């Protein structure tokens, strides 16, 4: 089963960084769906992880789960996963590897999912068409680049209609993202020079 059940949860912004267990998972088995036989796949994780939970943005403290497939990090309690998932040797995937509406993965969705930059959800092209408010960000985001996660064929980034609505209602929340993005830009610049 996908590890997460809670989808759009807006809890506001906070500042508690999280630590996640990033074990050497090279030889771990990938379990995507209990309904299917686990896919045995050697996975080499060569990116770092974000230091905040994408669901609560630091409202909660405590250990978190690192997505094995991307830099996202999430608390078990923020996605309805058991605490034991933190120390699990299984390969974990965050919500951004299947469509928020129809649950297709990128492959089933024609090769690409559109991942929101500012929340835990992603959409296939078909389901994204039902959201008229989203805006495109690009094929990669600087905060992921900084963590060594390069452009992927199966992902594009957007800001979803839900997040845009939250930003309108709570400009402080948008501001906290903008401060973070500026910080990332500075770090990328320093790295280049």
b/e per residue, 48-62, with b = 16+ CB within 10 A?
Answer: ebbebbbbbbbbbee
Using CB under 5 A as the binding rule, whether residue 155 contacts Zn ion is answered as no
Tell me the sheet residues that pair with 73: 66
Which residue among 39, 102, 130, 179 contacts Zn ion (CB under 5 A)?
102
CA atoms within 13 A on the CB side of 109: 26
Alpha helices in 17-124 (DSSP H): 76-79
Residue 26 to residues 39, 43, 142, 163: CA-CA distances in angstroms?
14, 5, 26, 34
Binding mask 36-65 for Zn ion (x = CB under 5 A): -----------------x-xx---x-----
Binding region for Zn ion (CB under 5 A) out of 23-31, 40-48, 119-127, 136-144: 119-127
Q: Which of 28, 99, 113, 141 touches Zn ion (CB under 5 A)?
A: 99
x/- letters, 125..154, toward Zn ion (CB under 5 A): --x---------------------------
Pick the closer one to Zn ion by CB: 38 or 80.
80
């Amino acid at each position: 089963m996908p590890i997460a059940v809670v989808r759009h949860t807006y809890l506001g912004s906070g500042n508690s960084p999280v630590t996640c267990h990033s074990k050497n998972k090279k030889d771990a088995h990938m379990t995507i769906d209990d309904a299917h036989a686990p896919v045995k796949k050697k996975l080499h994780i060569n990116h770092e992880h974000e230091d905040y939970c994408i669901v609560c943005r630091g409202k909660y403290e405590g250990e978190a789960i690192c997505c094995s497939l991307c830099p996202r990090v999430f608390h078990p309690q923020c996605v309805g996963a058991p605490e034991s998932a933190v120390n699990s040797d299984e390969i974990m995937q965050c919500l951004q590897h299947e469509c928020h509406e129809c649950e297709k993965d990128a492959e089933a969705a024609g090769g690409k999912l559109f991942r929101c930059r500012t929340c835990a959800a992603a959409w296939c092209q078909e389901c994204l068409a039902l959201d008229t408010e989203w805006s495109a960000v690009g094929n990669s985001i600087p905060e992921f680049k900084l963590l060594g996660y390069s452009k992927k064929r199966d992902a594009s980034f957007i800001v979803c209609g839900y997040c845009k609505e939250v930003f309108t209602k709570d400009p402080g929340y948008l501001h906290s993202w903008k401060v973070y993005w500026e910080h990332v830009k500075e770090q990328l610049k320093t790295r280049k020079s």
